[in-house]
Structure 1
Amino acid sequence: MVRHAESPYNEGTERTRGLTPKGRIDAEAITKILKDEEINRLISNPYARAILTLEGLAEELEQEIKIFEDLRERHFSSEDALIPTEDFMSEMNRMFDDFDYAYPDGESNRACQQRSVAVLNTILEENKGKKIAIGTHGNVMTLMMNHFDATYNDKTEQSRSRRS
Protein backbone atom coordinates (compact mmCIF):
# COMPACT_ATOMS: atom_id res chain seq x y z
CA MET A 1 0.00 0.00 0.00
CA VAL A 2 1.23 3.45 -0.89
CA ARG A 3 -0.03 6.42 1.07
CA HIS A 4 -0.29 9.43 -1.24
CA ALA A 5 2.59 11.88 -1.15
CA GLU A 6 2.28 15.32 0.46
CA SER A 7 -0.56 17.41 -0.90
CA PRO A 8 -1.51 21.03 -0.21
CA TYR A 9 -4.69 21.26 1.86
CA ASN A 10 -7.35 23.37 0.19
CA GLU A 11 -10.89 23.15 1.56
CA GLY A 12 -13.30 21.81 -1.05
CA THR A 13 -10.69 20.25 -3.36
CA GLU A 14 -10.52 16.75 -1.87
CA ARG A 15 -10.65 14.90 -5.19
CA THR A 16 -8.61 17.27 -7.32
CA ARG A 17 -5.73 18.61 -5.29
CA GLY A 18 -2.30 17.58 -6.50
CA LEU A 19 1.09 17.27 -4.85
CA THR A 20 3.36 19.83 -3.23
CA PRO A 21 6.94 20.14 -4.53
CA LYS A 22 8.00 17.85 -1.65
CA GLY A 23 5.19 15.47 -2.64
CA ARG A 24 6.49 15.29 -6.20
CA ILE A 25 9.99 14.48 -4.91
CA ASP A 26 8.53 11.81 -2.62
CA ALA A 27 6.53 10.33 -5.52
CA GLU A 28 9.79 10.06 -7.49
CA ALA A 29 11.35 8.26 -4.51
CA ILE A 30 8.42 5.83 -4.43
CA THR A 31 9.01 5.08 -8.12
CA LYS A 32 12.70 4.37 -7.45
CA ILE A 33 11.86 2.12 -4.49
CA LEU A 34 9.15 0.10 -6.26
CA LYS A 35 10.30 -0.03 -9.89
CA ASP A 36 12.28 -3.27 -9.45
CA GLU A 37 9.70 -5.04 -7.26
CA GLU A 38 8.05 -6.81 -10.23
CA ILE A 39 4.69 -5.20 -9.58
CA ASN A 40 1.98 -6.61 -11.84
CA ARG A 41 -0.90 -4.22 -11.06
CA LEU A 42 -1.23 -0.58 -10.12
CA ILE A 43 -4.44 0.43 -8.40
CA SER A 44 -5.56 3.72 -6.90
CA ASN A 45 -8.53 5.55 -5.57
CA PRO A 46 -9.91 8.35 -7.77
CA TYR A 47 -8.23 11.25 -5.90
CA ALA A 48 -5.60 13.11 -7.93
CA ARG A 49 -2.95 13.03 -5.18
CA ALA A 50 -3.10 9.23 -4.93
CA ILE A 51 -2.95 8.79 -8.71
CA LEU A 52 -0.11 11.31 -9.06
CA THR A 53 1.88 9.45 -6.41
CA LEU A 54 1.81 6.30 -8.59
CA GLU A 55 2.01 8.02 -11.99
CA GLY A 56 5.81 7.86 -12.33
CA LEU A 57 5.79 4.18 -11.41
CA ALA A 58 3.06 3.56 -13.99
CA GLU A 59 5.20 5.21 -16.67
CA GLU A 60 8.30 3.30 -15.57
CA LEU A 61 6.43 -0.03 -15.65
CA GLU A 62 4.38 0.87 -18.73
CA GLN A 63 1.18 0.05 -16.89
CA GLU A 64 -2.15 1.76 -16.46
CA ILE A 65 -3.47 2.66 -13.03
CA LYS A 66 -6.83 1.02 -12.40
CA ILE A 67 -9.19 3.19 -10.35
CA PHE A 68 -11.43 1.87 -7.57
CA GLU A 69 -13.90 4.36 -6.12
CA ASP A 70 -14.29 2.48 -2.84
CA LEU A 71 -10.61 3.06 -1.97
CA ARG A 72 -11.47 6.77 -1.69
CA GLU A 73 -10.73 8.89 1.36
CA ARG A 74 -13.20 8.57 4.16
CA HIS A 75 -15.93 11.17 4.31
CA PHE A 76 -15.39 12.96 7.64
CA SER A 77 -18.36 15.36 7.70
CA SER A 78 -20.82 17.34 5.62
CA GLU A 79 -19.97 20.73 4.14
CA ASP A 80 -22.34 22.24 6.72
CA ALA A 81 -20.67 20.54 9.69
CA LEU A 82 -16.94 20.68 8.96
CA ILE A 83 -14.68 19.58 11.78
CA PRO A 84 -12.85 22.66 13.07
CA THR A 85 -9.09 22.35 12.47
CA GLU A 86 -8.33 22.69 16.18
CA ASP A 87 -10.70 19.77 16.95
CA PHE A 88 -9.61 17.46 14.14
CA MET A 89 -7.09 15.29 16.03
CA SER A 90 -9.34 14.88 19.07
CA GLU A 91 -12.21 13.89 16.76
CA MET A 92 -9.92 11.42 14.95
CA ASN A 93 -8.93 9.88 18.28
CA ARG A 94 -12.60 9.64 19.25
CA MET A 95 -13.36 7.88 15.94
CA PHE A 96 -10.64 5.30 16.65
CA ASP A 97 -11.81 4.84 20.23
CA ASP A 98 -15.42 4.32 19.05
CA PHE A 99 -15.52 2.71 15.59
CA ASP A 100 -19.21 3.57 15.20
CA TYR A 101 -18.83 7.29 16.02
CA ALA A 102 -19.10 9.69 13.10
CA TYR A 103 -19.20 13.45 12.89
CA PRO A 104 -22.59 14.70 11.56
CA ASP A 105 -23.13 13.33 8.03
CA GLY A 106 -19.69 11.72 8.14
CA GLU A 107 -18.54 8.14 7.73
CA SER A 108 -17.63 6.10 10.82
CA ASN A 109 -14.44 4.07 10.96
CA ARG A 110 -16.54 0.90 10.80
CA ALA A 111 -18.36 2.01 7.63
CA CYS A 112 -15.13 3.15 5.96
CA GLN A 113 -13.36 -0.05 6.97
CA GLN A 114 -16.16 -2.27 5.66
CA ARG A 115 -16.26 -0.39 2.35
CA SER A 116 -12.50 -0.41 1.79
CA VAL A 117 -11.88 -3.98 2.98
CA ALA A 118 -14.65 -5.25 0.69
CA VAL A 119 -12.95 -3.73 -2.36
CA LEU A 120 -9.52 -4.84 -1.12
CA ASN A 121 -10.77 -8.43 -0.88
CA THR A 122 -12.10 -8.17 -4.46
CA ILE A 123 -8.75 -6.79 -5.65
CA LEU A 124 -6.84 -9.58 -3.90
CA GLU A 125 -9.16 -12.27 -5.27
CA GLU A 126 -8.87 -10.92 -8.84
CA ASN A 127 -5.08 -10.66 -8.60
CA LYS A 128 -4.08 -13.87 -6.82
CA GLY A 129 -0.37 -14.52 -7.13
CA LYS A 130 0.36 -11.01 -8.39
CA LYS A 131 2.18 -8.10 -6.81
CA ILE A 132 -0.02 -5.05 -6.45
CA ALA A 133 0.71 -1.43 -5.51
CA ILE A 134 -2.35 0.34 -4.15
CA GLY A 135 -2.45 4.14 -3.90
CA THR A 136 -4.68 5.32 -1.11
CA HIS A 137 -4.91 7.58 1.95
CA GLY A 138 -3.40 7.19 5.42
CA ASN A 139 -6.73 6.86 7.20
CA VAL A 140 -8.21 4.33 4.77
CA MET A 141 -4.96 2.36 4.70
CA THR A 142 -4.88 2.31 8.51
CA LEU A 143 -8.44 1.01 8.67
CA MET A 144 -7.73 -1.73 6.12
CA MET A 145 -4.59 -2.82 7.97
CA ASN A 146 -6.48 -2.66 11.28
CA HIS A 147 -8.99 -5.15 9.85
CA PHE A 148 -6.20 -7.71 9.49
CA ASP A 149 -4.21 -6.64 12.59
CA ALA A 150 -6.23 -4.98 15.37
CA THR A 151 -3.06 -3.51 16.91
CA TYR A 152 -2.59 -1.29 13.86
CA ASN A 153 -4.39 2.01 14.48
CA ASP A 154 -4.22 5.77 13.91
CA LYS A 155 -1.39 6.17 16.41
CA THR A 156 0.65 3.55 14.51
CA GLU A 157 0.11 5.52 11.28
CA GLN A 158 0.92 8.86 12.94
CA SER A 159 4.16 7.40 14.29
CA ARG A 160 5.13 6.03 10.87
CA SER A 161 4.27 9.35 9.15
CA ARG A 162 6.50 11.30 11.55
CA ARG A 163 9.46 9.02 10.79
CA SER A 164 9.17 9.32 7.00
Structure 2
Amino acid sequence: MSTFIYMVRHGESPKTGGDERERGLSPKGEADARQVTARLRSEGIHAFYSSPYVRAVQTIADLAEELGQEIVPDEALKEKIWMEGNRPLPEDELYPALRKMYADADFALPGGESNNECQARAVQVLKDILRKHPGENIVIGTHGLVMALMMGYFSADYGLEFLMQTKKPDIYRMEFTGEKLSGVERIPL
Protein backbone atom coordinates (compact mmCIF):
# COMPACT_ATOMS: atom_id res chain seq x y z
CA MET A 1 0.00 0.00 0.00
CA SER A 2 1.47 3.33 -1.08
CA THR A 3 1.20 6.67 0.66
CA PHE A 4 1.56 9.74 -1.53
CA ILE A 5 3.01 12.98 -0.22
CA TYR A 6 2.42 16.03 -2.41
CA MET A 7 5.16 18.55 -1.60
CA VAL A 8 3.81 21.96 -2.62
CA ARG A 9 6.44 24.68 -2.69
CA HIS A 10 4.78 28.05 -2.08
CA GLY A 11 4.03 30.55 -4.83
CA GLU A 12 5.80 33.84 -5.48
CA SER A 13 6.11 36.05 -2.42
CA PRO A 14 7.69 39.50 -2.32
CA LYS A 15 10.73 39.79 -0.07
CA THR A 16 9.85 42.79 2.04
CA GLY A 17 12.61 42.51 4.62
CA GLY A 18 10.03 42.12 7.40
CA ASP A 19 9.05 39.11 9.43
CA GLU A 20 9.49 35.97 7.35
CA ARG A 21 6.42 34.34 8.92
CA GLU A 22 4.01 37.03 7.75
CA ARG A 23 5.16 37.36 4.13
CA GLY A 24 2.18 36.49 1.94
CA LEU A 25 1.78 35.77 -1.75
CA SER A 26 2.16 38.35 -4.50
CA PRO A 27 -0.69 38.73 -7.05
CA LYS A 28 1.21 36.27 -9.28
CA GLY A 29 1.58 33.93 -6.29
CA GLU A 30 -2.18 34.08 -5.69
CA ALA A 31 -2.81 33.16 -9.34
CA ASP A 32 -0.29 30.34 -9.02
CA ALA A 33 -2.13 29.05 -5.93
CA ARG A 34 -5.29 28.79 -8.04
CA GLN A 35 -3.29 26.64 -10.49
CA VAL A 36 -2.21 24.39 -7.61
CA THR A 37 -5.88 23.99 -6.65
CA ALA A 38 -6.88 23.17 -10.24
CA ARG A 39 -4.08 20.62 -10.58
CA LEU A 40 -4.64 18.79 -7.28
CA ARG A 41 -8.42 18.95 -6.82
CA SER A 42 -8.97 15.47 -8.31
CA GLU A 43 -6.02 13.75 -6.57
CA GLY A 44 -8.11 12.43 -3.67
CA ILE A 45 -6.31 14.40 -0.97
CA HIS A 46 -7.02 13.16 2.57
CA ALA A 47 -5.14 15.68 4.73
CA PHE A 48 -3.20 18.95 4.64
CA TYR A 49 -0.14 19.96 6.63
CA SER A 50 1.88 23.13 6.23
CA SER A 51 4.62 25.35 7.39
CA PRO A 52 2.94 28.01 9.57
CA TYR A 53 4.38 30.74 7.31
CA VAL A 54 1.62 32.69 5.55
CA ARG A 55 2.89 32.12 1.99
CA ALA A 56 2.98 28.33 2.41
CA VAL A 57 -0.52 28.20 3.94
CA GLN A 58 -1.97 30.57 1.30
CA THR A 59 -0.65 28.40 -1.55
CA ILE A 60 -2.75 25.41 -0.44
CA ALA A 61 -5.62 27.18 1.38
CA ASP A 62 -8.08 27.33 -1.54
CA LEU A 63 -7.60 23.62 -2.26
CA ALA A 64 -8.12 22.68 1.39
CA GLU A 65 -11.23 24.86 1.59
CA GLU A 66 -12.64 23.44 -1.64
CA LEU A 67 -12.16 19.91 -0.28
CA GLY A 68 -13.60 20.80 3.15
CA GLN A 69 -10.33 20.10 4.94
CA GLU A 70 -8.40 21.94 7.63
CA ILE A 71 -4.71 22.74 7.24
CA VAL A 72 -2.63 21.52 10.16
CA PRO A 73 0.24 23.98 10.67
CA ASP A 74 3.42 22.48 12.06
CA GLU A 75 6.26 24.60 13.38
CA ALA A 76 8.79 21.95 12.35
CA LEU A 77 7.83 22.50 8.68
CA LYS A 78 8.75 26.21 8.81
CA GLU A 79 11.34 27.77 6.52
CA LYS A 80 14.97 27.27 7.45
CA ILE A 81 16.15 29.91 9.89
CA TRP A 82 18.77 31.55 7.73
CA MET A 83 20.23 33.97 10.28
CA GLU A 84 19.63 35.74 13.55
CA GLY A 85 16.28 37.49 13.72
CA ASN A 86 14.77 35.08 11.16
CA ARG A 87 15.44 37.58 8.37
CA PRO A 88 15.66 36.47 4.74
CA LEU A 89 19.11 36.18 3.23
CA PRO A 90 19.82 38.91 0.63
CA GLU A 91 19.69 37.53 -2.94
CA ASP A 92 23.38 38.23 -3.65
CA GLU A 93 24.38 36.17 -0.58
CA LEU A 94 21.95 33.30 -1.11
CA TYR A 95 23.76 31.06 -3.61
CA PRO A 96 27.22 31.33 -1.97
CA ALA A 97 25.63 30.49 1.40
CA LEU A 98 23.71 27.55 -0.08
CA ARG A 99 26.92 26.15 -1.61
CA LYS A 100 28.59 26.29 1.82
CA MET A 101 25.55 24.73 3.49
CA TYR A 102 25.46 21.85 1.02
CA ALA A 103 29.25 21.33 1.18
CA ASP A 104 29.08 21.18 4.99
CA ALA A 105 25.64 20.22 6.29
CA ASP A 106 26.62 21.41 9.80
CA PHE A 107 27.54 24.94 8.61
CA ALA A 108 25.18 27.69 9.79
CA LEU A 109 25.21 31.46 9.53
CA PRO A 110 25.27 33.34 12.88
CA GLY A 111 21.98 32.71 14.66
CA GLY A 112 20.75 30.39 11.89
CA GLU A 113 20.26 26.66 11.47
CA SER A 114 22.44 24.19 9.64
CA ASN A 115 21.00 21.99 6.89
CA ASN A 116 21.30 19.02 9.27
CA GLU A 117 19.24 20.78 11.96
CA CYS A 118 16.56 21.91 9.50
CA GLN A 119 16.41 18.50 7.83
CA ALA A 120 16.12 16.63 11.15
CA ARG A 121 13.11 18.62 12.36
CA ALA A 122 11.29 18.50 9.01
CA VAL A 123 11.95 14.80 8.31
CA GLN A 124 10.66 13.86 11.77
CA VAL A 125 7.31 15.49 10.94
CA LEU A 126 7.24 13.79 7.53
CA LYS A 127 7.82 10.39 9.17
CA ASP A 128 5.06 11.14 11.70
CA ILE A 129 2.69 12.01 8.83
CA LEU A 130 3.58 8.78 7.01
CA ARG A 131 2.83 6.73 10.16
CA LYS A 132 -0.44 8.59 10.79
CA HIS A 133 -1.76 8.39 7.20
CA PRO A 134 -0.75 5.05 5.62
CA GLY A 135 -2.26 4.58 2.16
CA GLU A 136 -3.50 8.18 1.96
CA ASN A 137 -2.73 11.22 -0.19
CA ILE A 138 -1.31 14.11 1.83
CA VAL A 139 -0.44 17.69 0.83
CA ILE A 140 2.42 19.47 2.60
CA GLY A 141 2.70 23.24 2.06
CA THR A 142 6.40 23.95 2.18
CA HIS A 143 9.45 26.00 1.18
CA GLY A 144 12.07 25.21 -1.46
CA LEU A 145 15.02 24.42 0.80
CA VAL A 146 12.96 22.57 3.39
CA MET A 147 11.37 20.49 0.60
CA ALA A 148 14.79 19.70 -0.94
CA LEU A 149 16.21 18.72 2.45
CA MET A 150 13.28 16.41 3.19
CA MET A 151 13.51 14.80 -0.24
CA GLY A 152 17.32 14.64 0.02
CA TYR A 153 17.05 12.64 3.23
CA PHE A 154 15.50 9.81 1.23
CA SER A 155 17.60 10.14 -1.95
CA ALA A 156 20.85 11.88 -2.86
CA ASP A 157 19.18 12.92 -6.15
CA TYR A 158 17.66 15.91 -4.33
CA GLY A 159 20.61 18.14 -3.51
CA LEU A 160 21.60 21.68 -4.37
CA GLU A 161 21.21 21.24 -8.14
CA PHE A 162 17.67 19.96 -7.63
CA LEU A 163 16.84 22.89 -5.34
CA MET A 164 18.15 25.46 -7.83
CA GLN A 165 15.92 24.16 -10.65
CA THR A 166 12.68 24.17 -8.62
CA LYS A 167 9.99 26.76 -9.34
CA LYS A 168 7.54 28.83 -7.27
CA PRO A 169 5.17 27.13 -6.94
CA ASP A 170 6.20 23.56 -7.60
CA ILE A 171 4.64 20.20 -6.82
CA TYR A 172 6.41 16.87 -6.30
CA ARG A 173 4.48 13.67 -5.61
CA MET A 174 6.54 11.32 -3.44
CA GLU A 175 5.42 7.70 -3.23
CA PHE A 176 6.24 5.82 -0.03
CA THR A 177 5.88 2.24 1.09
CA GLY A 178 6.02 2.62 4.84
CA GLU A 179 8.89 5.08 5.31
CA LYS A 180 10.75 3.95 2.18
CA LEU A 181 10.67 6.29 -0.82
CA SER A 182 9.71 4.33 -3.93
CA GLY A 183 9.27 7.13 -6.47
CA VAL A 184 9.08 10.86 -7.13
CA GLU A 185 7.18 12.61 -9.91
CA ARG A 186 7.06 16.33 -10.65
CA ILE A 187 3.47 17.41 -11.22
CA PRO A 188 3.43 20.06 -13.96
CA LEU A 189 1.30 23.17 -13.51
Q: Which residue of 1 aligns with 2:47?
A: 41
Q: CA deviation at 1:84?
A: 4.7
- Normalising by the residue count of structure 2, what TM-score does the alignment of the two structures yield? 0.81
Contact 2:17–2:88 under 8 Å retained in 1: no
Equivalent in the alignment of 2:8: 2
2:75 — aligned with what?
69
Mapped to 2, the partners of 1:28 and 1:81 lie a distance apart of 28
Indicate if the aligned counterparts of 2:20 and 2:86 stay in contact, CA closer than 8 A: no
- Distance in structure 1 (CA, Å) of the matches to 2:55 and 2:122: 18
The correspondence for 1:140, drawn from 146, 158, 175, is 146
Look up the match of 1:31: 37
CA distance in 1, matches of 2:144, 2:156: 16
8 A Cα contact 2:17 2:87, kept in partner: no
- Which of 117, 129, 133 does residue 127 from structure 1 map onto? 133
Matched, 1:21 2:27: yes
Q: What is the alpha-carbon distance in structure 1 between the residues aligned to residue 100 and residue 112 of structure 2? A: 13
Corresponding residue of 1:54: 60
Q: Which has the higher helix share?
A: 1
Q: Which structure has the higher relative contact order (CA within 8 Å, separation 6+)?
A: 2
Q: 2:124 aligns with which of 118, 122, 137?
A: 118
Q: 1:107 to 1:66 in 2, by over 3 A?
A: same
2:187 corresponds in structure 1 to: none
Whether the 8 Å CA contact 1:16–1:47 is kept in 2: the answer is yes
Q: How well do the aligned residues superpose, as a CA RMSD in angstroms?
A: 2.0
Establish whether residue 108 from structure 1 lines up as the match of residue 114 from structure 2: yes
- Sort the Cα spacing of 1:80 and 1:20 in 2 relative to 1 into closer, same or farther, 3 A: closer
User: What is the CA distance between 1:93 and its match in structure 2?
Assistant: 1.1
Task: Kindly indicate whether the alpha-carbon contact (under 8 Å) linking 1:81 and 1:104 is maintained by their aligned counterparts in 2.
Answer: no
| 5+ residue gaps, structure 1 | none
TM-score normalised according to structure 1 size: 0.93
Q: Percent identity?
A: 44
Q: Label 1:25 to 1:80 Cα distance change in 2 as closer, same or farther (>3 A).
A: closer
SS of match in other structure, 1:18: coil
5+ unaligned residues in a row in structure 2: which ranges? 1-6, 171-189
Q: 1:114 to 1:59 in 2, by over 3 A?
A: same
The one-letter code sitting in structure 2 at the alignment partner of 1:147 is Y
SS in 2 for 1:134: strand
Structure 1 residue 82: Cα displacement: 7.4
Query: In the TM superposition, what is the alpha-carbon distance from 1:150 to its structure 2 partner?
Result: 1.2
Q: Secondary structure at the match of 2:43?
A: coil
8 Å contact kept, 2:18–2:87: no
Q: Deviations over 1:32-90 (max 9, x none)?
A: 00000000001111000010001110121011111111000010111399755422210
